[in-house]
Amino acid sequence: MTRKQYCDIFISGGGLAGLMTALSLADKFSNIICCDPNLEFDSDSSGLPQDRRVTALFNSSLDYLANLIPLEALLTDCGKRLSEIEIVEAGGKGKLIQTTSFKSHCIDRTEFGWVIPNENLRKALIAKVLQNPRITTLSKNGVEKVITRTKEAHILLSNGDRVVSRLVIGADGKNSRVRECLGINTNRISLPQSGITFNVRHQLPLSHKSIEIYKSGGPFTIIPLPGEDKYSSNIIWMDSSKNIDIYSHMDSNSFAMEVTKRSLGMVGNIEITSPLLKWSGTYQMANKLSHERAVLIAEAAHNLPPIGAQGLNLTINDIKLLNEQLDKSEDPGDFKVLKDYYSIRYLPTLLKFVGTNFLNLMSFSNILPLKIIRKEGANIFANNRQLQSMLIKFGLGEGLFEVKPFSRKE
Ligand SMILES: Cc1cc2nc3c(=O)[nH]c(=O)nc-3n(C[C@H](O)[C@H](O)[C@H](O)COP(=O)(O)OP(=O)(O)OC[C@H]3O[C@@H](n4cnc5c(N)ncnc54)[C@H](O)[C@@H]3O)c2cc1C
């Protein structure tokens, strides 16, 4: 027999974004439901598909996360401080042309942020969600349909149950079902490019620095893996779909040699230590971030190329603003509150979307003028400390200006 439940907030998606959102809103709302068709929300998280990715989280994001989970313990057990980002320009024949180094002390910080394995972050969030009596989790159960009305949203779940909620939050990833049900379109940027990510061991140490190597086809990023070991890193490699297809079908020795070559030997010889995870080069942003009784956050709203560690940091800013807006009314689905969320959040998100896609296109492209802009751009920033500091702050999401909500027509 199917059931009908009522709640204040319904969150579609139990990824990092959905879990953080549930915890962040649980102080204010007593009845939150979070569902996911692919997850078993259990205490040892054993039902979770393994996520070998790591995420670099900036200090402002970590400050916020510290309100939700025991962050100190997580960073001590499995985090790595990130205090330098090196941008490297490589020539067509794989030669190092120019290196620009951004150090956290340029902006008077000891670090930009920390690298955390997604798996550990997710386990810490799930543990807190399960302890919270205000949050109900629905394992292996997803959103099928959403219909919104002025006073509430009606949700049909994949097991046939129904939920009536004052607000629906779509945190259900880049193929968001909530977004689709609400009829919200996306702006898409599609390149004949793909990405792979995997872990490696290397000959030379890399301690608290990540390296982004730009060459036609896409960026190649080396991120030190958490822990004391200075010889293990995560690689994110974006290249033409044709090349990625060739690399991902190579035997492991040939692939390791190809990876060493693409890294310009900056960390010595490389050995592959994990399977490859692949994705396509389509990135998108929703045309609207809110709707009657509904809001979109995280990858449901913006799916960016993984450049400059922007994705989850941007999501944490979505969650911060959503909390600030929901503090303004007793009704979480208040029309003005949601409309203001959209108008404040849209421009900064669009800038990040355009910025990361532009960087990706410049890196992907073999067109000479774009290659010159890329090289000269890096040169200008390398030689101007003030510009460097501005760029770092923008990258860290600390904003160069504040956006006010548009005035609403009565
Ligand atoms: C290689 C790579 C490296 C990255 N590195 C960084 C980094 O260093 N720093 C950074 O800030 N960001 C980074 N990102 C981005 C970051 O990983 C993502 O922003 C983040 O993991 C996405 O979280 P999410 O919860 O929005 O989406 P997801 O993790 O995709 O979660 C969505 C959830 O929704 C569920 N779902 C699907 N359909 C339904 C349905 N019908 N009903 C209910 N639930 C549903 C799914 O099962 C899933 O669990 C990186 C991304 C990639 C690809």
Rounded to 5 degrees, what angle do the CA atoms 55, 45, 7 make? 90
Report the pLDDT averaged over residues 359-365. Answer: 82
Neighbours of 353 (CB within 10 A): 22
Question: What does the pLDDT read at residue 105?
Answer: 82
**Residue nearest ligand 1's atom 44 by CA:** 13
ipTM: 0.93
Flag whether pLDDT at 254 surpasses 60.
Answer: yes
- Domain membership flag for residue 409: no
Mutational pocket test of ligand 1: of 23, 50, 53, 304, the residue with most ligand atoms within 8 Å of the beta carbon = 53
**H or E stretch including 194?**
strand 186-202
Using pLDDT thresholds of 50, 70 and 90, give the confidence band for residue 72: very high
- Domain membership flag for residue 137: yes
What percentage of the chain reaches a pLDDT higher than 70? 87
- Domain membership flag for residue 325: yes
- Domain membership flag for residue 157: yes
| C-alpha–C-alpha distance, residues 344 and 365, integer Å | 33
**Residue nearest ligand 1's atom 30 by CA:** 173
Strand, coil or helix: 50: coil
- Domain membership flag for residue 321: yes
Using pLDDT thresholds of 50, 70 and 90, give the confidence band for residue 369: low
Torsion 330-313-19-157 (CA) sign = positive
| C-alpha–C-alpha distance, residues 372 and 376, integer Å | 6
Strand, coil or helix: 184: coil
Lowest mean pLDDT segment, chosen from 78-92, 120-134, 181-195, 237-251: 78-92
- Domain membership flag for residue 95: no
| C-alpha–C-alpha distance, residues 47 and 49, integer Å | 7
Question: Which range of residues forms the domain containing residue 161?
Answer: 4-48+118-187+283-362
Q: How many Å lie between the centroid of ligand 1 and the Cα of residue 299? A: 6
Report the pLDDT averaged over residues 49-54. Answer: 77
Q: How many Å lie between the centroid of ligand 1 and the Cα of residue 171? A: 9
Question: What does the pLDDT read at residue 404?
Answer: 46
**Residue nearest ligand 1's atom 13 by CA:** 311
Q: What is the pLDDT of residues 4-40, one digit of tens each?
A: 999 999 999 999 999 999 999 999 999 999 999 999 9
Q: What is the pLDDT of residues 196-214, one digit of tens each?
A: 999 999 999 998 999 999 8
Flag whether pLDDT at 400 surpasses 50.
Answer: no
Neighbours of 147 (CB within 10 A): 12
Q: How many Å lie between the centroid of ligand 1 and the Cα of residue 236? A: 16
Task: Count the domains in the chain.
Answer: 1
- Tokens found for residue 46: 């054993």
Q: How many Å lie between the centroid of ligand 1 and the Cα of residue 245? A: 23
- Tokens found for residue 124: 């810490």
Q: How many Å lie between the centroid of ligand 1 and the Cα of residue 198? A: 17
C-beta separation of 195 from 244 below 8 A = yes
- Domain membership flag for residue 329: yes
The C-alpha torsion from 184 through 189 and 190 to 196, rounded to 10°, is -100
CATH of the domain at 298: 3.50.50.60
Q: What is the pLDDT of residues 255-288, one digit of tens each?
A: 999 999 999 999 999 999 999 999 888 999 999 9
- Domain membership flag for residue 31: yes
CA-304 nearest atom, ligand 1: 15
Mutational pocket test of ligand 1: of 145, 181, 312, 318, the residue with most ligand atoms within 8 Å of the beta carbon = 312
Rounded to 5, what percent of the chain is helix, strand, coil? 35, 30, 35
Question: What is the DSSP code string of 121-171?
Answer: HHHHHHHHHHH-TTEEEEET--EEEEEE-SS-EEEEETTS-EEEEEEEEE-
- Tokens found for residue 380: 């200008």
Strand, coil or helix: 383: helix
CA-316 nearest atom, ligand 1: 11
Q: Which residues line ligand 1 (CB under 6 A)?
A: 12-18, 35-39, 53, 55-56, 142-143, 171-173, 177, 197, 236, 279, 298-299, 306, 309-313, 315
Beta bridge partners of 84: 103, 209
Mutational pocket test of ligand 1: of 60, 172, 182, the residue with most ligand atoms within 8 Å of the beta carbon = 172
Lowest mean pLDDT segment, chosen from 194-203, 300-309, 341-350: 300-309
Flag whether pLDDT at 153 surpasses 80.
Answer: yes
Q: How many Å lie between the centroid of ligand 1 and the Cα of residue 112? A: 22
Flag whether pLDDT at 401 surpasses 50.
Answer: no
CA-315 nearest atom, ligand 1: 19
Flag whether pLDDT at 136 surpasses 50.
Answer: yes
CA-17 nearest atom, ligand 1: 25
Q: How many Å lie between the centroid of ligand 1 and the Cα of residue 92? A: 33
Neighbours of 48 (CB within 10 A): 18
